[in-house]
Structure 1
Amino acid sequence: MERELPEKHEQFLRLFTANESAIRAYVRCLVPTRDDASDIMQEMSLVLWSKFQELEEPDGFRNWALAVARYESLAWRRDKARDRLVLAADVLGMIAVESAEQARQLSEQRDALEVCLEKLPLAKRSLVLVAYEPDVCIQEVAKQSGRTVAAFYQWLHRMRMRLRECARRTLEAEALS
């Protein structure tokens, strides 16, 4: 019996080291980081050793070890899903400040765009607004404008660039005043 344990241990080590890189690569595909894979490999090697006497055929070690790795990875994922990831109060504060700043900037940009749209002649403004309505058919809008589809897209691009430049100037002027 005493002699049997070192032989089993040696057999396990030979099989494990021969297959470790394949098992690790498999585990690495199942979890997000190398550290997670290392944690799973540690736990899995303990399970493999404790259940090694149940392995009937040493030739099936790799498949058996991959199955154990899969179950250990699933258990790891289950345990991680239970963890509550809570952001620190200072991080939440930073996110809130950043979000408020972005909302303010977007509101200012929208207001500047409205001002610039109002500066366009009514016919051009109407065409621009119609082109951005939901479920609009650009071919029909192009036909309505008296242009080909390609020419309408070029015109619409020029209008967007004109509106963007106007909005930029409006925002700069507001910043200076």
Structure 2
Amino acid sequence: MEKRVDETTRQATRQWTLAQPAVSAFVTSVVRDFRDRDDVLQDVAVAVIESFDSYDPNFPFVAWAIGVARNQVGLYLRGRRRDRLVFDDDTVASLAIAIADVAHEESARMEHLDDCIHSMESRARLLLELRYKHDMKPAAIAGRVDMTANAVAKALQRVRDRLRECVDQKHSQAGAS
């Protein structure tokens, strides 16, 4: 018998998958024990999926998910009050805000990176694809593109420098507008 996932669950799962690294960073910054951390992160994932109907799509999902995580971390910390290595509520709130801000910032930078990669000439894109998508070392790339390994390494460095400049420029322009 085939089970179908409803659209709300599909959307919640898709959003969670994108937000999970930032939420995980937040939980990791507060919960020191790795076994507890995994349990808390699972509790957060379940809470995010179960409460997805209360999410307002006019606001960033990552910030909302970190808010859900704050609640789950709070429950965890209340159970550990006697432990001297537990953050207070203000510190946890500050961490949540900081990680949500960083996640939003990095998301924008990744969009700029994608734009910058697409604007590069085809040879530069090929070098990037071989190096980062196919995880090839310069020596292996050299044989594919009729260059020396040293020339490939230098070309990749120039491409990375151009990408960094492009991303920084787009990020500055986006901040100014």
Scaled by the length of structure 2, what TM-score is found? 0.50
Instruction: Determine the C-alpha separation between the residues in 2 that align with 1:119 and 1:134.
Output: 20
- After alignment, is 133-142 or 101-110 more displaced? 133-142
Q: Secondary structure at 2:133's aligned position in 1?
A: coil
For residues 92-142 of structure 1, what are the alpha-carbon distances to aligned partners after superposition, in whole Å with 9 as ceiling and x for unaligned?
A: 000000101111111111111101001012332122122113542431212
Aligned to 1:100: 100
- In the alignment, residue 99 of structure 1 is paired with which amino acid? I
Instruction: Determine the C-alpha separation between the residues in 1 that align with 2:168 and 2:175.
Output: 11
- After alignment, is 155-164 or 134-143 more displaced? 134-143
Matched, 1:83 2:83: yes
CA 1:150–1:171: 2 relative to 1, 3 Å:
same
Q: Which runs of 5+ in 1 are unaligned?
A: 1-81
Higher RCO by CA contacts (8 Å cutoff, separation 6 or greater):
2
State the Cα RMSD in Å. Answer: 1.7
Instruction: Determine the C-alpha separation between the residues in 1 that align with 2:135 and 2:176.
Output: 40
- In the alignment, residue 174 of structure 1 is paired with which amino acid? A
CA 1:122–1:135: 2 relative to 1, 3 Å:
closer
Aligned to 1:151: 151
Superposed displacement of residue 85, structure 1: 2.5
Instruction: Determine the C-alpha separation between the residues in 2 that align with 1:159 and 1:121.
Output: 10
By percentage of residues, which structure has more helix? 1
Aligned residues with identical type, % of pairs: 29
Number of positions where the alignment pairs a residue of Structure 1 with one of Structure 2? 96
Contact 2:138/2:150 (<8 A) preserved: no
Instruction: Determine the C-alpha separation between the residues in 2 that align with 1:130 and 1:148.
Output: 15
Aligned to 1:26: none
CA 1:176–1:135: 2 relative to 1, 3 Å:
closer
Instruction: Determine the C-alpha separation between the residues in 2 that align with 1:170 and 1:89.
Output: 37
Instruction: Determine the C-alpha separation between the residues in 2 that align with 1:100 and 1:108.
Output: 13
Q: Secondary structure at 1:132's aligned position in 2?
A: helix
Superposed displacement of residue 173, structure 1: 0.9
Aligned to 2:168: 168
Q: Secondary structure at 2:168's aligned position in 1?
A: helix
CA 1:134–1:112: 2 relative to 1, 3 Å:
same
Instruction: Determine the C-alpha separation between the residues in 1 that align with 2:135 and 2:117.
Output: 21
Aligned to 1:120: 120
For residues 29-50 of structure 1, what are the alpha-carbon distances to aligned partners after superposition, in whole Å with 9 as ceiling and x for unaligned?
A: xxxxxxxxxxxxxxxxxxxxxx
Aligned to 1:75: none
Instruction: Determine the C-alpha separation between the residues in 1 that align with 2:138 and 2:108.
Output: 29
- In the alignment, residue 116 of structure 1 is paired with which amino acid? C
